[in-house]
Structure 1
């Protein structure tokens, strides 16, 4: 099992300067290695894939840079630029690993075949973390201090203890707007990966309908109000950004103003994430199976509702919900969202509604809040539509051509 714990750091002025210098050196190395790959790709890419057996005037291909060849070339970098000798070797090698990963995601895609966009060079301030891949031994932790290579002991606020039996595999130093943090990646091979044998049934399943009027409504008609953290911070952000626009570029006052804006954005991010974790735990304490709509959130963020959808953070919430469900031995099910608001959760008839229609009234006398009706439909789809199947509306647990059904 693998976990990551993040702690706040209390660094001395000298340690801050050292980390700042190391991050800048890593940023330059990242851009240089990425440029190497782009140059090879540009110079050696050719549409011609066949050559004459007798004669070919095409120059031989240069050696393609990869992770191992670039790591081997770090010796030359240290010889030409002695300041790189100050960095831990494995930290510098991790920079090459990041370049290799982002370049392969662009050309080949991840394990699911999803490709990322073209990698971009890191501008000043855009490279914010250092990784120490070497495992940290127990003797390197003394009270509130953790010892790292070539930097010595750094003070950590251990707001929660490291679990017994877990080994610290890697440590990542991250610079944020409000200070420095360390992320410890913990692993315990004796604990199996999280698995669940939960099967959706009407008794152990709850459906949730996420929206913009309420953050979510459950199939039991429990509502969670949306907090609107970004909307509430907009007035302050507008004032701070107006002050920032008046500052002279390159001045110290502009740097301070940038930091104030970044801190405000970070506070909104932290508030939203804390809210998502609390709601996820609240749902998992109620039921073993959580059903939700399989929404195309990326498309919604390009619509007129983009700001509201982004402020709600549905994507982050579903990611957190899946992670916490796996650790709790629960199950999260995504169902087809088509027609969940239009169908009657009692008889299956289609009741056309516009976005302004917030109440569901059916000829079978069913009367529900629109979101409550949708949450009930989501639950029915997760468990195989037991209510509708009993009325003969469905076959094999999936929707077929329906007609309006009246409850006897």
Structure 2
């Protein structure tokens, strides 16, 4: 019979007898490993909640297995600056912030990143209601992400692209050469690998910080933010792959959506088809190649930056989004004298 989640869990007691060192690992941590394998294969075969399929799960050697999770934990495990974990005992931790009153610790995960260990606590408070979007549909913008500028809003605001990876590339190249030249298995090679890992983490942390600050800036100004649906996976296979991955669009849009949900605001995605080609003033198609950065419509005389034209088109398309349509209707019935005009923007 093919192994499944339950048969694999049943083999764990015998596994501890055959390999006594497994007894040093907490039983629920081992069970969670089996669960992670099941989730990985389910996403590969059936897809996730959005129907997207991941790649075939691969064997993870010791060097690539970086996270262990306690699916259940005692509520009094955290005392001051120490956490008491089964089989590991009391460990000193640095808390970034105190746990809010009334919240319960559901899971605890320990992750190793660049020779440092990070503790992640999953919290729950059933008395906290779900935040429903309560938005002003007039406070809307569209954003066009790009490689020349990180993003342009429908009002012409521009956020410069920082290019964290490209700025660190020279330093990374030097360390990578150092790794390649040293003997495999040697202490000096291991030291160089750790140095390379720290440098990559520094780049990733800078990018993440930039994404959070940009998301906060947009959400402080607008209630509704529209963006185009991006095929980042496809773009990462083109000659622009390095720049696309350095920008981290997927990560940014995910952060933006999560922050908006927590703030009771709305992020919607619209079709990316011809957002740069269609004129935001008259709607006629004005073909232009990628290197052409200026929109000049021969039909209505509209002239503006290509990215601004795309951002306005994205904003205009968002008005047709079902959630925003409902908000517009409720906004109108609430006694607003003037209906919001969102289909035209002078830029």
Q: TM-score, normalised by structure 1?
A: 0.76
Measure how far apart 1:171 and its partner are: 0.4
Task: Give 5+ residue unaligned stretches, structure 2.
Answer: 322-342
Aligned mates of 2:201, 2:83 — CA distance in 1:
26
Measure how far apart 1:197 and its partner are: 4.9
Deviations 1:113-138 (A, max 9, x none): 3332222111230111111111331x
Q: For residues 350-365 of structure 1, what are the structure 2 equivalents within 5 Å?
A: 350-363=285-298, 364-365=300-301
What's 2:144 paired with? Answer: 209
What's 1:150 paired with? Answer: 87
What's 1:104 paired with? Answer: 42
Measure how far apart 1:359 and its partner are: 1.7
Q: 1:78 to 1:244 in 2, by over 3 A?
A: same
Q: Which of 306, 309, 317 matches 1:370?
A: 306
What's 2:211 paired with? Answer: 276
What's 2:264 paired with? Answer: 329
Measure how far apart 1:370 and its partner are: 1.2
Q: For residues 59-74 of structure 1, what are the structure 2 equivalents within 5 Å?
A: 62=1, 64-74=2-12
1:176 has 2:113 as partner = yes
Q: Which of 229, 254, 266 matches 2:164?
A: 229
What's 1:266 paired with? Answer: 201
Q: 1:113 to 1:377 in 2, by over 3 A?
A: closer
Aligned mates of 2:26, 2:220 — CA distance in 1:
44
Measure how far apart 1:194 and its partner are: 3.3
The structure with the larger Rg is: 1
Aligned mates of 2:134, 2:221 — CA distance in 1:
17
| SS at structure 1 position matched to 2:93 | strand
Task: Give 5+ residue unaligned stretches, structure 1.
Answer: 1-61, 386-398, 400-406
Deviations 1:156-186 (A, max 9, x none): 1112111221111010111110401111011
Deviations 1:171-207 (A, max 9, x none): 01111104011110111111123332547x4x22101
Measure how far apart 1:361 and its partner are: 2.2
Q: Which of 239, 243, 248 matches 2:174?
A: 239
Q: Which of 212, 230, 250 matches 1:295?
A: 230
Aligned mates of 1:207, 1:117 — CA distance in 2:
32
Aligned length: 322
Aligned mates of 1:325, 1:70 — CA distance in 2:
40
Aligned mates of 2:104, 2:132 — CA distance in 1:
22
What's 1:344 paired with? Answer: 279
What's 1:121 paired with? Answer: 59
What's 1:196 paired with? Answer: 133
Aligned mates of 2:52, 2:5 — CA distance in 1:
21
Asked if the contact 1:167–1:188 (Cα under 8 Å) also holds between the matched residues in 2, the reply is yes
Deviations 1:74-104 (A, max 9, x none): 1111112221112111111111111222222
What's 2:102 paired with? Answer: 165
| SS at structure 1 position matched to 2:200 | helix
What's 2:334 paired with? Answer: none
Deviations 1:234-279 (A, max 9, x none): 0001100111111000000000001111111111111111111111
Aligned mates of 1:124, 1:73 — CA distance in 2:
21
Q: 1:213 to 1:190 in 2, by over 3 A?
A: same
Aligned mates of 1:197, 1:66 — CA distance in 2:
44
| SS at structure 1 position matched to 2:191 | helix
Aligned mates of 1:192, 1:286 — CA distance in 2:
25
